[in-house]
Structure 1
Amino acid sequence: MRLLVAAMASELEAFPEALEGFDQLVTGEGKMQATYALTRALSANDYEEIVVVGTAGGIDPELDAVVHEIGSALQHDVFDLEGVAGQHVSLPARVSTGREGVLIATGDSFVGDAGITAVIRPSGAGLVDMETYAYIWVAQQFGVPIRAFRAISDRAEDGALVDFRAAIARCSVMLRETVRQEYGV
């Protein structure tokens, strides 16, 4: 059995309530809720794989507004004792799914400001979200393989929150098609 994970129920809107071979989990938004909910799910059940679906802001203008598989994640909103951005005091700077894909920058705030996007962009991240780093880190702690797919909902700049709200249904349809293509369900 696999675990299909999303931060928000609206990201699963295009998915059937029951998807053969998958349990479903909605964690809530942000790193803390993602960590807590996924830890509880993995403590209660054995899964062969975690499949994350959701939306992300596109901060690399070269990335098309489609679904992208995530290869690794960093936290853009943490600093180590020397003040180095993206370096946590006790967590790895980057976590990896073990697959080829886009680097995503995870933080606890919705990014919808060109100034913040400009600060994150030099990290090399192509996308920004609020949960992926946490999902990958938790999966690693439990030794469960993980794949993450993120659909670009907005460009993470001025007006992004309005764009995001309008884009969730479109993104859910694209994510559903990706899961259908990847897993045949």
Structure 2
Amino acid sequence: MPQPTTLLVFAHRDEASAFADVPHLVTGVGKVNAAVSLATALAVGGIDQVVVLGTAGVVSDGPERPSLEDVYQITGVVQHDFSLPSPELRPAGPAILPPERTAVIATGDVFVQNDAQRARIAGLGASLVDMEAYAYASVCERLGVPLQLFKVPSDFADSATTDEEWDTIVFRKSEQLREFWDRLA
């Protein structure tokens, strides 16, 4: 039986920096870039499944708070910046990580670095936040392509988080994602 053709996807080129030797797609940051780039790639055909690897901010607090050292599989995706109700999407790819290493992520077109934003987003049931996951999940659901999303937290999405801090951390997180990917392959 032939191996399924997997499209490996990243939002930002720096998240993919440790994957230079592996075919992949970099969609660009934000929901529009993510949706258009992924839909264009899938329209060509020949892709049996999509695997997204990337970084995310932590918005939840307490004992269940995701660690900055672990990779999490996303099992639910919500939007946090859309005023109309939108359904929680559940990626259709198989869950391979144990329940304690799964998370719900909230997506919005803003780099969250504000304590009030964090609290509001956590109130939606999310423990992580990014800028693309909802778009990836929506495209894959509409086109019937199984999706797995894996995120490694890069920061706590609070008022101490800066764009410059993320720019420094992302290369180390790319290496962490590569180690995770190599164990899966």
Task: Please say whether Structure 1 and Structure 2 have the same fold, judged by a TM-score greater than 0.5.
Answer: yes
Paired residues of 2:76 and 2:89 also in contact (CA < 8 A): yes
Count of residue pairs the alignment pairs up? 169
C-alpha distance in 1 between matches for 2:41 and 2:66: 32
C-alpha distance in 2 between matches for 1:163 and 1:56: 13
C-alpha distance in 1 between matches for 2:180 and 2:91: 17
Percent identity over the alignment is 36
Paired residues of 2:81 and 2:109 also in contact (CA < 8 A): yes
State the TM-score, normalized to the length of structure 2. 0.87
Helix, strand or coil at the partner of 2:19 = coil
Give the letter for the 1:178 counterpart.
Answer: F
- 1:130-145 equivalence runs, <5 A: 130-145=131-146
Runs (4 or more) in structure 1 with deviation over 6 Å come to: none
State the TM-score, normalized to the length of structure 1. 0.87
Give the letter for the 1:5 counterpart.
Answer: V
Q: Which residue of 2 aligns with 1:173?
A: 175
**Displacement, 1:181?**
1.3
Give the letter for the 1:116 counterpart.
Answer: Q
Name structure 2 gaps, 5 residues minimum.
none
- 1:76-87 equivalence runs, <5 A: 76-80=80-84, 87=85
Q: Which residue of 2 aligns with 1:110?
A: 111
C-alpha distance in 2 between matches for 1:95 and 1:46: 24
C-alpha distance after superposition, 1:57-111 (max 9, x if no partner): 011232111211111100001122xxxxxx13xxxx2111143621000001110
Q: Which residue of 1 aligns with 2:166?
A: 164
Q: Which residue of 2 aligns with 1:84?
A: none
Give the letter for the 2:123 counterpart.
Answer: P
Give the letter for the 1:108 counterpart.
Answer: D
RMSD: 1.3
C-alpha distance in 1 between matches for 2:39 and 2:129: 22
Give the letter for the 1:169 counterpart.
Answer: F
> Would the alpha carbon gap of residues 159 and 165 (structure 1) be closer, same or farther in structure 2, given more than 3 Å must change?
farther
C-alpha distance after superposition, 1:46-67 (max 9, x if no partner): 2121010111001123211121
